[in-house]
Amino acid sequence: MSAAGGAPRNVVLGVAGGIAAYKAASLLRILTEAGHRVRVVPTEAALRFVGAPTWEALSGRPVATSVWDDVHEVPHVRLGQEADVVVVAPATADLLARAAHGRADDLLTSILLTARCPVVMAPAMHTEMWLHPATAANVATLRGRGVVVLDPADGRLTGADTGAGRLPEPEVLAQVALRVLERGPADPDLAGRHVVVSAGGTREPLDPVRYLGNRSSGRQGFALAMTAAARGARVTLVAANSELPTPAGVRRVDVGTARELRVAVREAAAGADVVVMAAAVADFRPTAESSSKIKKTDDPDEAPTIELVRNPDILAELAAVRLRAGQVVVGFAAETGDADGDVLTHARAKLERKGCDLLVVNEVGAGKGFGTADNSVVVLDAAGGEKVVGPASKADVADAVWDAVATRLQ
């Protein structure tokens, strides 16, 4: 997602006074290398962590913290009016509080009041501060105004402390910022919604070294999680055997087998508005797992016989039970045509059989679907509707799916 092929956009990068301010330098580099004009607006406290010369050298633009700097240009109004997106990373507890209460006591908070473009805030602070009721109330206030406030990551904080409050890595923050920038002034239509997304491919153990699996990379599911966060949702990502980085603002639960995925998805779905089953779940598993490696014998014609049993149909279960009233359930179907019908024939039958609200269908095979940067899908709905999406990036496909979901939620 770069400015290539389109005009560079104006980005205001606000930096509050936390130790994570050093990560914002990398975020700045990513945004400028994407072709956008970035104006860094640090707080006075932020300059204690990273000095103005660093921001000016990386952005190629002057840095100011006070409304009294360059008064003739009226920066506290002009920068907010001209911005296409405002990203605050890190957003400290103090900055969140001042923004929630409409303070305008420095240049950054003044810009937040004048900006009419999308605003993304990436909190970073100690766990106790993030979990404090005052911070929770401030975050709820900001989200209620349409600000995309990402949940912080879990991990190492300052000193020996660990927990919720870590600023996500610059690369995943940039994904969200660029996605919001690409969507433009659209409202964060998933704000206040909890969505659950499954991604990746389950693995069913045969022995300590072998398993039955599939070719799913998890990229489409991770794109769904990232774009949902960029649209304001609270996202739980149930990831099966994926090494992809966790999208910014997303809570991740790692699983291995179909039965583990079933438990994790059902637990998360109990309070969710939307469940999207994008993971490639194994239909079968071995009846028994060998406790030691299955060895071949000297007989070249001898091979073990592996008995299989069906795994639970997680999508059908979710569609039948609806763990929350009004819950929207979305399935994915990787299909191939055969003598009995083409891809869409099989997909429509699956949609009716599963009972979900939407089914996202993609044809798989050589160079299609699994592991590719782009995707082509057809979104089917239970009422008989059909929308072709792509070829497009997996982020664009994800947004098309959320467009269909948002319509149903409304």
Residues assigned a catalytic role: 214
Nearest to 356 by CA among 312, 280, 408: 408
List of residues 6+ apart from 205 with CB closer than 8 A: 211, 257, 286, 289
3-class secondary structure, 324:
coil
Tell me the C-alpha distance between 168 and 165, whole Å. Answer: 9
Asked if residue 378 lies in contact with residue 387, where contact means CB atoms within 8 angstroms, the answer is yes
- For residue 57, give the nearest of 88, 32, 34 by alpha carbon: 32
Q: What is the CA radius of gyration of the chain?
A: 24
What distance in Å separates the CA atoms of residue 57 and residue 107, rounded to the nearest whole number?
A: 20
Residue carrying structure tokens 């030691």: 292
CA 172 to mean position of chain CA atoms:
9
End-to-end, the C-alpha distance of the chain in Å comes to 29
Within 10 angstroms of residue 370's Cβ, the number of other Cβ atoms is 19
